[in-house]
């Protein structure tokens, strides 16, 4: 190699290493400020005993919906109602919901959707319908939006609602704990958690000036009912594939109070089975996260290559080995730091470059497939790309 190429490689390796080091320093201090609701000091009851309605949309979730609803029915918080929505299921989801509702008629209501109106995604429509029903029937102080595959610890809602009230949150997110059933799942999920530190500085979510640090999680989006109405509900997000992220961004852009907390084991989810399951599960999301913009896709893949794959390559070159060691050590440290909250073993750090390559592949696959098909198939319905790119109107 020529001297100029050596210099470029060295500068690139040091630049990447120092950015990783800075991320580790800021995360090490910042994550301490994110409340962990399993700590004794957060073991509180919600002041004022506010009412809350949980909405659970489900399509073909017969294997998981009973466990989800039962975990909600077992919550140690009395002022709670549940609305489960059977969104055009072709399996026994609706029957399972109805059977549970017969056993708990005062706590669980089931809605059945047989047709999807034009201009709606199935999930956003189901959540909007449930919220409308909840507001007219129960008049709740808070609305909690979750998914049909989530498992709740009996104290989860009590602890989260108490923290939301105490911090005067308009929108409160409790980060879920991943259930890991294979090394492939652990590898990809732990990688995505590290990448999440670049996407959102969770310790700055509560800062109204940190507009890019907005968070929304489909497993646990808790909103004050007046705030949900002020935002236009899911009517304003009816064609958003990643509606949870869009909701979080919408809240932050409106200058509303957003809060976040962790709580290992309080809210649990088994995302998908194995590497193939996770990659296939992200098919509809990744191009959407890139705003259906191929330029953002390209930049994302270049960033992953430079910051996640290149350090491993730099380890093999004598002139870049020192900064590469710093980068890799920093990445391992972030895995250890993340594991304290996620409960995912940091051992998966050794597969960091492999995980990065798989995620870059997934982004490209999502983009190419969506462009080739001209849209996305989700929950049994095909949505043209032109419709997904449109901004919704405010009419119902």
Question: What pLDDT was estimated at residue 300?
Answer: 97
Question: What pLDDT was estimated at residue 380?
Answer: 83
**pLDDT, mean over the chain:** 95
Question: What pLDDT was estimated at residue 395?
Answer: 41
CATH number of 34-176+217-272: 3.90.550.10
Tell how strand 267-269 and strand 381-384 pair up.
Answer: unpaired
* Mean pLDDT in residue range 226-235: 97
* Mean pLDDT in residue range 160-183: 97
The values of phi and psi at residue 196, to 5°, are: -60, -25
DSSP letter assigned to residue 309 = I
Q: Is-above-0.85 flag for pTM?
A: yes
Helix (H) or strand (E) holding 178: strand 177-178
Counting residues of the chain whose pLDDT is more than 70, the rounded percentage is: 98
**Is residue 190 pLDDT above 80, yes or no?**
yes
Q: Are 388 and 287 in contact (CB under 8 A)?
A: no
Question: What pLDDT was estimated at residue 393?
Answer: 52
pLDDT per residue over 198-221, tens digit each? 999 999 999 999 999 999 999 999
Weakest mean pLDDT among 77-86, 96-105, 226-235, 377-386: 377-386
How many CB atoms sit inside 10 A of residue 279's CB? 19
Distance set, CA 117 to CA 122, 378, 390 (Å): 9, 15, 16
* Mean pLDDT in residue range 52-70: 98
**Is residue 391 pLDDT above 80, yes or no?**
no
**Is residue 392 pLDDT above 70, yes or no?**
no
Question: What pLDDT was estimated at residue 3?
Answer: 74
DSSP letter assigned to residue 51 = -
Confidence class for position 340, pLDDT limits 50, 70, 90: confident
* Mean pLDDT in residue range 107-115: 97
**Is residue 1 pLDDT above 70, yes or no?**
no
Decide which of 343 and 22 is more confident. 22
For tokens 């709580």, the residue is 263
**Is residue 72 pLDDT above 70, yes or no?**
yes
pLDDT per residue over 263-286, tens digit each? 999 999 999 999 999 999 998 899
Distance CA 211, CA 205 (A): 8
pLDDT per residue over 288-328, tens digit each? 999 999 999 999 999 999 999 999 999 999 999 999 999 99
The ranges assigned to domains in the chain are 3-31+282-386, 34-176+217-272
Question: What pLDDT was estimated at residue 5?
Answer: 85
* Mean pLDDT in residue range 229-256: 96
Contacts of 262 (CB under 8 A, 6+ apart): 34, 35, 36, 37, 174, 175, 341
What residues does 152 pair with on adjacent strands? Answer: 267
Buried-exposed string 62-96: b where 16+ CB fall within 10 A, e elsewhere? bebbbebbebbeebebebbbbbbbbbbbeebbbeb
Counting residues of the chain whose pLDDT is more than 90, the rounded percentage is: 93
């Amino acid at each position: 190699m020529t001297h100029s190429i050596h210099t470029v490689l060295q500068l690139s390796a040091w630049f990447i290493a120092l950015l990783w080091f800075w991320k580790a320093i800021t995360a090490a201090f910042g994550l301490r400020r994110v409340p962990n609701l399993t700590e004794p000091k957060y073991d509180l009851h919600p002041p004022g005993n506010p009412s809350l309605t949980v909405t659970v949309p489900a399509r073909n979730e017969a294997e998981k919906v009973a466990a989800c609803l039962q975990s909600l029915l077992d919550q140690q918080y009395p002022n709670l109602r549940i609305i489960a929505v059977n969104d055009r299921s072709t399996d026994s989801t609706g029957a399972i919901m109805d059977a549970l509702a017969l056993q708990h008629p005062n706590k669980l209501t089931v809605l059945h959707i047989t047709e999807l109106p034009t201009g709606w995604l199935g999930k956003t429509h189901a959540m909007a319908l449930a919220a409308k029903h909840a507001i007219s029937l129960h008049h709740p102080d808070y609305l909690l939006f979750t998914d049909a595959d989530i498992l709740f610890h009996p104290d989860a809602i009590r602890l989260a609602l108490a923290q939301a009230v105490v911090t005067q949150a308009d929108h409160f997110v409790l980060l879920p704990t991943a259930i890991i059933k294979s090394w492939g799942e652990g590898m990809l999920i732990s990688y995505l958690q590290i990448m999440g530190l670049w996407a959102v500085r969770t310790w700055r979510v509560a800062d109204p000036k940190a507009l890019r640090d907005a968070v929304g999680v489909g497993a646990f989006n808790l909103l004050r009912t007046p705030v949900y109405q002020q935002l236009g509900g899911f009517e304003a997000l009816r064609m958003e594939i990643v509606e949870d992220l869009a909701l979080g961004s919408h809240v932050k852009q409106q200058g509303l109070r957003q809060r976040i907390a962790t709580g290992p084991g309080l809210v649990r989810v088994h995302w998908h089975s194995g590497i193939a399951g996770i990659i296939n599960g992200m098919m509809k999301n990744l191009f959407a996260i890139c705003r259906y913009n191929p330029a953002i896709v390209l930049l994302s893949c270049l960033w992953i290559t430079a910051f996640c794959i290149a350090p491993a390559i730099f380890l093999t070159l004598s002139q870049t080995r020192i900064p590469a060691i710093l980068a890799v050590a920093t990445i391992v440290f972030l895995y250890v730091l993340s594991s304290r909250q996620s409960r995912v073993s940091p051992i998966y750090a050794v597969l960091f470059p492999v995980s990065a390559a798989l995620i870059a592949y997934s982004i490209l696959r999502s983009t190419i497939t969506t462009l080739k098909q001209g849209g996305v198939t989700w929950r049994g319905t095909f949505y043209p790309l032109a419709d997904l790119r449109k901004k919704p109107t405010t009419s119902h």
